Amino acid sequence: MKNELLRIGPFTVYGYGLMIAIGILAAYFTGEYRAKKRKLPYEHVFYLVVWCVVGGFLGAKILYWITEWKSILENPGFLSATLTDGFVVFGGIVGGIFTAYVYCRVKKLNFLKFFDTLMPSVALAQGFGRIGCLLAGCCYGKETSGAFSITFHTSAFAPNGVALVPTQIYSSILDFLHYGLLLLILRSQKKDGETAAAYLIFYSAGRFVLEFFRGDLARGSVGVLSTSQFISVFTFLAGIVLLIQRKHALERV
């Protein structure tokens, strides 16, 4: 894969950055469209997306630094050297959700309604983001002798010239399927929060399984689990708790 897609004078268009930008725009337009259909104050979607992107990137960066605490202790300059690379998706998810919650509290908006409305768009954005990972060669899979594999030749992240499990492709496909599934759930849900709970449950379960095929193990671990698998357990349980709480709320109505 090739991350440098286009050069215009001193400017370079990178595939990873382009896909992230496309994902954010897709999240914004689809989120605003659904907010209008659900008769929510859609004018807040733009600001929610902007603030969630800021909170998401900050959360993803902080969690990455947490996983690299040994490197930071050995060399504090590691912090400044990794300002523009090295992110953990789960940190972005948690940071984005927390930022959305704070925004809704400040603006006196119904958080759960916006949570449900925007989470399918988050899955959509992640699908495009994983295409960016494929172009850059990050988040790569383990070495494989299987028929379905991918080999990088100019990646700055993945080992070049080695057949690898195409985890980025699997992740992207699952994210797009996740987007469609969440839309179906949103249309038929009976209580606010059910779609958001489904996002947490499905994404956590999928990510937990995919981690077994990842080859970039330098991302850190907690015991026998990778950092992302460890966090997946708690986000999965959070989704289950939210779903049960919403079901009980429905029964009390």
pLDDT along the chain (253 residues), means of 10: 79 90 97 97 97 94 85 86 80 95 97 97 97 93 92 90 96 98 95 96 97 82 87 96 83 54
Which pTM value belongs to this model? 0.91
Average pLDDT, the chain: 91
Cα(176)–Cα(117) distance, integer angstroms: 16
The angle, 0 to 180 degrees and rounded to 10, between the axes of the packed helices 43-67 and 89-107 is 140
Predicted local confidence at residue 51, as pLDDT = 97
Could you tell me how many residues make up the chain?
Answer: 253
pLDDT for 96 equals 96
Q: What is the dihedral of CA 173, 168, 31, 115, to 10 degrees?
A: 100
Q: Is 167:140 a contact under the CB 8 Å cutoff?
A: yes
* Cα(117)–Cα(161) distance, integer angstroms: 43
What local confidence, expressed as pLDDT, does residue 131 receive?
Answer: 96
Confidence at residue 205, expressed as pLDDT on a 0 to 100 scale:
97
